[in-house]
Amino acid sequence: MDPERPARHAATAGSADFTSQQLEPMERSFRLAAEATGGVSSDHYLLAGASLELQFASPALRAELTPAFAHLAVDAADLPSLTVRLWDSETSQLPPPPHPEVSAQHPEGAFFHFHNPPLRGVYQPGLNSLSILDSGARTAWHWVASAQNQPYWEKASPIRQILFWWLESREFLQVHGGAVGTSDGGVLLVGKGGSGKSTVALAALGSPLLYAGDDYVAVTLDPSPRVASLYNSGKLEPQHVNGLLSHLLENVTNLDRLDDEKAVIYTHRHFPSHVTSGFPLRAVLVPRVRPESKTSRVVDVSKAEAFSALAPSTMVQLHTGGRATFAALGRLIERLPAYGLEIGSDVAAISETVGELLSGLSGA
């Protein structure tokens, strides 16, 4: 189930009795998987200014998940800010770690969340995945039943819940949005699925603008608004990649599955010089597709419209966000000017229009 199309009856349940003692079976399951698969492979990234280490006890899962982070790869850090241990049962041929018992009556979108500081986790029976963060130990675990059966959106934006919790502790907020700009500053693209965020972000490839993400990015407000890239995986509705952005068709990784999936493009693989780890934020931009027009133009929108384009979809996507998250989204909108972007059919003109807006903002 694509997270942009959540099940109508998606359920969330707590697990108040989860304790640190239950981390031992998770760690044991990871270590046994490592023994069964020939050891642990580590990859290191710099994300939102902090070091992230991914330890894989599954070559298959590593191959599926690391392309999304390729643009953030760095040399190993002496003491990572967060270490995530990842494995699957299919590769190791070992039993899964302990996880919540779920009856067959729960809907496809069931989502079980527990928060017992410093522990936080989710179990998703539909995906057969379990994610746990121990913020005190700066360690997380991510288990899936099968590396090969990961849905395309999980491969394009891995360990989102773990990153959301960890980023929150670093004063960053993961949002459902995209971002394009230059090293001097850029715009946050907000709106529900299908609004044009990905079209604007991917239209920047090959232009003077840099791509920081098109579906999920991280933002911070202090000391000034800034966006940090999380993934370099662009996702587009098939009709858009076959129409407006047809020049990107040769870069799509899942061409044979577009009847059931969005088109996925790993931008760093094909446009490495056009992908960035982040930049200062100058404005919030709410895209709207205007198929009857060739040109694109910036229009006025209210703060309320910008908040409505950002907050509901972000809260739905995060699943585990609460009042503090909602309030932080409001502060973000208050700190930045907001505009609308009416998207025309001339792809080159989209980035030119955004570039002109940024030039005007930098000169203001």
Domain boundary (136, 169, 202) is at 169
Same structural domain, 165 and 193: no
Same structural domain, 111 and 164: yes
State the CB neighbour count (10 A cutoff) for residue 357.
19
Same structural domain, 157 and 181: no
Interatomic CA distance for residues 160 and 133, integer angstroms? 12
Same structural domain, 24 and 158: yes
Same structural domain, 158 and 182: no
For residue 309, being part of any structural domain is answered with yes
For residue 198, being part of any structural domain is answered with yes
pLDDT tens by residue, the chain, 364 residues:
455 443 323 344 444 345 666 799 999 999 999 999 999 999 999 999 999 999 999 999 999 999 999 999 999 878 999 999 999 999 999 999 988 766 555 555 677 888 888 999 999 988 899 999 999 999 999 999 999 999 999 999 999 999 999 999 999 999 999 999 999 999 999 998 778 899 999 999 999 999 999 999 999 999 999 999 999 999 988 887 777 788 888 999 999 999 999 999 999 999 999 999 999 999 999 999 887 888 999 999 999 999 999 999 999 988 888 999 999 999 999 999 999 999 998 988 999 999 999 999 976 5
Domain boundary (169, 188, 216) is at 169
Interatomic CA distance for residues 340 and 353, integer angstroms? 11
Structural domain containing residue 318: 173-363
Q: CATH code at 318?
A: 3.40.50
Domain boundary (138, 169, 200) is at 169
Identify each DSSP E strand in 146-291 by its residue range. 173-182, 185-190, 210-213, 216-220, 226-229, 233-236, 263-266, 278-289
Joined tokens for residue 19: 């304790």
For residue 1, being part of any structural domain is answered with no
Same structural domain, 51 and 197: no
Same structural domain, 23 and 49: yes
Interatomic CA distance for residues 158 and 162, integer angstroms? 9
Q: How many domains does the chain have?
A: 2
